[in-house]
Amino acid sequence: MEPTNETTQAAQPTPADHLLPAHEAGSGRNMRKEIVGKVTSSKMDKSITVAVVQKQQHPIYGKFVSKTTKFHAHDEKNDCGEGDTVRIMSTRPLSKTKRWRLVEILERAK
């Protein structure tokens, strides 16, 4: 016996599913990666270097090893100074090395 037209149509997605807002569809700006790190250099114009420290446990010895990764981020207003704790978000490539932009300054250096 062949399935009726009603059951096959119910299993298929409706054509309006791709028209959902970005926050409901699971994509868009709010789904980008955000990282918190410390500014190590702000000498460039509208750019900062952010160091992110991660603690990873060594697989054999069990000792915690700190790994540092540096990111170049876009600082439109040149607000940041060295030592500030900032939140950066991934974005489209802005230059050869800049793939991140400044979201907010969490804590100023003293």
The pLDDT confidence band at residue 3, using thresholds 50, 70 and 90, is low
| CATH architecture group of domain 31-107 | Beta Barrel (2.40)
Q: What pTM was estimated for this model as a whole?
A: 0.69
* The pLDDT of residue 95 is above 70: yes
**Spatial contact of 9 and 15, defined as CB atoms under 8 Å apart:** no
Q: How far is CA 7 from the centre of its chain?
A: 42
pLDDT (tens digit, 9 = 90+) per residue, 59-75? 999 999 999 999 999 99
pLDDT (tens digit, 9 = 90+) per residue, 6-27? 555 555 555 554 454 444 445 5
**Spatial contact of 85 and 76, defined as CB atoms under 8 Å apart:** no
